Amino acid sequence: MVSATPFKTTKSEEIFATAQTLMPGGVSSPVRAFKSVGGQPIVFDRVEGAYIWDVDGNKYIDYVGTWGPAICGHAHPEVIAALQAALSKGTSFGAPSVQENILAEMVIDAVPSIEMVRFVNSGTEACMSVLRLMRAFTGREKIIKFEGCYHGHADMFLVKAGSGVATLGLPDSPGVPKTTTSSTLTAPYNDLEAVKALFVENPDSIAGVILEPVVGNAGFIVPDAGFLEGLRELTQEYGALLVFDEVMTGFRIAYGGAQEKFGITPDLTTLGKVIGGGLPVGAYGGRKDIMSLVAPAGPMYQAGTLSGNPLAMTAGIKTLELLQKPGTYEYLTQVTQKLSQGLLQAARDCGHAVCGGSLSAMFGLFFTAGPVRNYEDAKKADLAKFSRFHRGMLEQGIYLAPSQFEAGFTSLAHTDEDIEQTLATARMVLATL
Ligand code: HOZ
């Protein structure tokens, strides 16, 4: 057991009880409410490296990593020092800063598809802006998204969406006008034929295809061989744009994201999470001829008071600098593979049907024999068993994402010892399920 003290969450419970009277569901974002895994969410006090501590003093090995940004480990001393220096100059300028240029250059150098970039404040903002840009550039309205993929909570994307929508088993959200989503076409992930059929039915009206190149919001699902290539060819054939939502995978699957890993260059890319180093940031970028449409260079309007915020830029710059060190992605791959393979083996040894895998610093496990190639497959997993697994691990000091439909994240701070500790705990918990 990681925690030195017995598992008690009295203070968490008190604080969360008050939170529920103040905020819908007691939270600022739905998945963290633990609705699908049962029990109450843990209220945190501090984070450092691979660990988090709750308000009752329990310590956990963390595989959520604040949902992705903490790839160097929480509160990395160099990120904190850079932020302290930046903080002494103020918190927001609402005007150009040199930090924006530095981070923009780093992003452009790293991500194959990005020749020009616009910083925003979240992944949701990046995706809703890129959608407007897809439509502005092509003069077409329809888009194709994939079932179980999540591109933030903008109206047009809340169709068969993953993440919290999948976690809570929600139908399409009330408040989203049908007219807004009528241009959103959907296909099962990894189903090239379904995408082809949509293009054949709508040859001149599809602005583009947007997807998570590696899915993290329906659980962890990798693209079949040839799927991304096929999408690249189809979009080119029909004069549509290909957009990779790399909010989760950017600078995580590889320094240049999933597009570098798979060698497929989309027209546009959205980013978030890692490029903010733990502060709120999103970005969208791509071909210069397309990005030149964005105001004030062009007519497509999009703006933001805190966009390009100097603190967020500083945390992003330092985080990317840390990721540039030799051996980074080799280490992330090795540590995550050990974790993922160990978890699968432990589950099989205990007689559970299980499947999953990892790619660089992202992993997932489904309680079903699989294979899981899309959202329909993911839904066949034993969700009740996942809940019991989640709870058992939590009580023994391992913090996993509180949903079967979220990927797990590792960091440079996770040590071999942390992985051993996690696997020993998993073996114990899996034997009781
Ligand atoms: N959209 C994130 C998960 N994919 C955030 C979840 C949360 O913070 O509740």
Nearest to 406 by CA among 31, 23, 14, 8: 31
The Å distance, Cα 234 to ligand 1 centre, comes to: 31
Q: What angle do CA 62, 64, 67 make, to 5 degrees?
A: 145
Ligand 1: which of 270, 403, 406, 409 to mutate, judged by most atoms within 8 Å of the beta carbon?
A: 406
Question: Is any atom of ligand 1 closer than 6 Å to the C-beta of 34?
Answer: no
Atom of ligand 1 nearest to the CA of 406: 4
The Å distance, Cα 68 to ligand 1 centre, comes to: 9
**Same domain, yes or no, for 317 and 330?**
no
Q: Is residue 293 part of a domain?
A: yes
- We report the CATH number of the domain holding residue 297 as 3.40.640.10
The residue nearest atom 1 of ligand 1, judged by CA position, is 163
Question: Is any atom of ligand 1 closer than 6 Å to the C-beta of 67?
Answer: yes
Q: What is the largest CA-CA distance in the chain?
A: 63
The Å distance, Cα 38 to ligand 1 centre, comes to: 17
**Same domain, yes or no, for 166 and 234?**
yes
Question: Is any atom of ligand 1 closer than 6 Å to the C-beta of 212?
Answer: no
> Token pair for residue 292?
């030149």
> Residue 269 — left, alpha, or beta (φ > 0 → left; ψ -120 to 50 → alpha)?
beta
Q: Is residue 38 part of a domain?
A: yes
Question: Is any atom of ligand 1 closer than 6 Å to the C-beta of 184?
Answer: no
> Is the pTM of the predicted complex or chain greater than 0.75?
yes
Question: Is any atom of ligand 1 closer than 6 Å to the C-beta of 173?
Answer: no
Q: What angle do CA 195, 251, 341 make, to 5 degrees?
A: 80
**Same domain, yes or no, for 383 and 243?**
no
Q: Is residue 1 part of a domain?
A: no
Q: What is the pLDDT of residue 171?
A: 64
Atom of ligand 1 nearest to the CA of 29: 9
**Contact, 151 vs 109, CB < 8 A?**
no
Question: Is any atom of ligand 1 closer than 6 Å to the C-beta of 282?
Answer: no
The residue nearest atom 6 of ligand 1, judged by CA position, is 31
**291, 323, 355 - which closes a domain:** 323
**Same domain, yes or no, for 99 and 51?**
no
Ligand 1: which of 37, 67, 170 to mutate, judged by most atoms within 8 Å of the beta carbon?
A: 67
What value does the CA radius of gyration of the chain take, rounded to a whole number of Å? 21
Q: Is residue 214 part of a domain?
A: yes
Q: What is the pLDDT of residue 165?
A: 78
User: Could you say which DSSP state residue 348 is in?
Assistant: H
Q: Is residue 71 part of a domain?
A: no
The Å distance, Cα 293 to ligand 1 centre, comes to: 30
**278, 298, 323 - which closes a domain:** 323
* Tens-digit pLDDT string for the chain (433 aa): 455 567 899 999 999 999 999 999 999 999 999 998 988 999 999 999 999 999 999 999 999 999 999 999 999 999 999 999 999 999 999 999 999 999 999 999 999 999 999 999 999 999 999 999 999 999 999 999 999 999 999 999 988 888 777 777 666 788 888 888 899 999 999 999 999 999 999 999 999 999 999 999 999 999 999 999 999 999 999 999 999 999 999 999 999 999 999 999 999 999 999 999 999 999 999 999 999 999 999 999 999 999 999 999 999 999 999 999 999 999 999 999 999 999 999 999 999 999 999 999 999 999 999 999 999 999 999 999 999 999 999 999 999 999 999 999 999 999 999 999 999 999 999 999 9
DSSP letters spanning 144-207: EEETT----S-GGG-SS--THHHHTT--SPTT--HHHHTTEEEE-TT-HHHHHHHHHHSTTTEE
Question: Is any atom of ligand 1 closer than 6 Å to the C-beta of 153?
Answer: no
The residue nearest atom 8 of ligand 1, judged by CA position, is 29
Query: Which range marks the domain in which residue 242 is found?
Result: 77-323
**323, 346, 368 - which closes a domain:** 323
**Same domain, yes or no, for 145 and 100?**
yes
Q: What is the pLDDT of residue 6?
A: 75
**Same domain, yes or no, for 249 and 307?**
yes
Angle between helices 77-87 and 310-323 (to 10 degrees): 150
Question: Is any atom of ligand 1 closer than 6 Å to the C-beta of 30?
Answer: yes
**Same domain, yes or no, for 354 and 263?**
no
Question: Is any atom of ligand 1 closer than 6 Å to the C-beta of 29?
Answer: yes
**Same domain, yes or no, for 302 and 404?**
no
The Å distance, Cα 73 to ligand 1 centre, comes to: 18
Question: Is any atom of ligand 1 closer than 6 Å to the C-beta of 31?
Answer: yes
Q: Is residue 69 part of a domain?
A: no
**Same domain, yes or no, for 333 and 319?**
no
How many CB atoms are closer than 10 A to CB 402? 24
Half-sphere exposure of 428 (CA within 13 A, CB side): 15
- We report the CATH number of the domain holding residue 400 as 3.90.1150.10
Number of domains in the chain: 2
**Same domain, yes or no, for 25 and 123?**
no
Atom of ligand 1 nearest to the CA of 162: 4
Q: What is the pLDDT of residue 1?
A: 47
* Catalytic residue IDs: 150, 245, 273
Q: Is residue 72 part of a domain?
A: no
Residue showing tokens 């010892």? 417
The residue nearest atom 4 of ligand 1, judged by CA position, is 163
**Same domain, yes or no, for 82 and 214?**
yes
The Å distance, Cα 400 to ligand 1 centre, comes to: 13
Q: Is residue 392 part of a domain?
A: yes
Question: Is any atom of ligand 1 closer than 6 Å to the C-beta of 148?
Answer: no
Atom of ligand 1 nearest to the CA of 163: 4
Nearest to 241 by CA among 337, 152, 133: 133
**Same domain, yes or no, for 285 and 306?**
yes
Strand ranges for 183-281 from DSSP E:
184-187, 206-211, 241-245, 268-271
Residue 314's contacts (CB-CB under 8 Å, 6 or more residues apart) are 82, 83, 85, 86, 99, 277
